[in-house]
Amino acid sequence: MLIDTYDRVATDLRVSLTDKCNLRCTYCMPEEGLQWLGKSELLSDDEIVRLIRIAVTRLGITEVRFTGGEPLLRPGLVSIVEQCAALTPRPRMSLTTNGIGLKRTATALKAAGLDRVNVSLDTLRPDVFKTLTRRDRHRDVLDGLEAAHEAGLTPVKVNSVLMPGLNDDEAPELLAWAVAHGYELRFIEQMPLDAQHGWKRDGMITAGDILTSLRTRFTLTPESDASRGSAPAERWTVDGGPHRVGVIASVTRPFCRACDRTRLTADGQVRTCLFAREETDLRGALRGDAPDEEIAQLWQTAMWGKKAGSGLDDPSFLQPDRPMSAIGG
Q: What is the pLDDT of residues 187-245, one digit of tens each?
A: 999 877 666 666 677 778 999 999 999 999 999 999 987 666 677 889 999 999 899 99
Query: Please, what is the average pLDDT of the chain?
Result: 92
Q: Alpha-carbon distance 155 to 116, whole Å?
A: 6
Q: Is 263 annotated as a binding residue?
A: yes
Helix (H) or strand (E) holding 160: strand 157-160
CA distances from 37 to 10, 14, 262 (A): 27, 18, 21
Tell me the pairing of strands 261-264 and 269-271: antiparallel
Residue 208: the pLDDT is 95
Burial class (CB in 10 A: 0-12, 13-18, 19+), 24: middle
Residue 148: the pLDDT is 98
Handedness of CA 292, 297, 302, 304 (dihedral sign): positive
Residue 322 above 80 pLDDT?
Answer: no
Q: How far apart are the first and last CA of the chain?
A: 23
Report yes or no on whether pTM surpasses 0.75: yes
Q: Is 157 annotated as a binding residue?
A: yes
pLDDT per residue over 48-75, tens digit each? 999 999 999 999 999 999 999 999 999 9
CB atoms within 10 A of CB 93: 23
Residue 324: the pLDDT is 67
Q: Is 84 annotated as a binding residue?
A: no
Burial class (CB in 10 A: 0-12, 13-18, 19+), 313: exposed
With bands split at pLDDT 50, 70 and 90, how would you rate the model's confidence at 280?
very high
Q: Is 183 annotated as a binding residue?
A: no
pLDDT per residue over 141-180, tens digit each? 999 999 999 999 999 999 999 999 999 999 999 999 999 9
Residue 326: the pLDDT is 66
Q: Is 273 annotated as a binding residue?
A: yes
CA distances from 255 to 260, 315, 320 (A): 10, 18, 19
Q: Is 204 annotated as a binding residue?
A: no
pLDDT per residue over 22-53, tens digit each? 988 888 877 777 778 899 999 999 999 999 99
Burial class (CB in 10 A: 0-12, 13-18, 19+), 301: exposed
Q: Is 191 annotated as a binding residue?
A: yes
Q: Is 6 annotated as a binding residue?
A: no
Q: Is 25 annotated as a binding residue?
A: yes
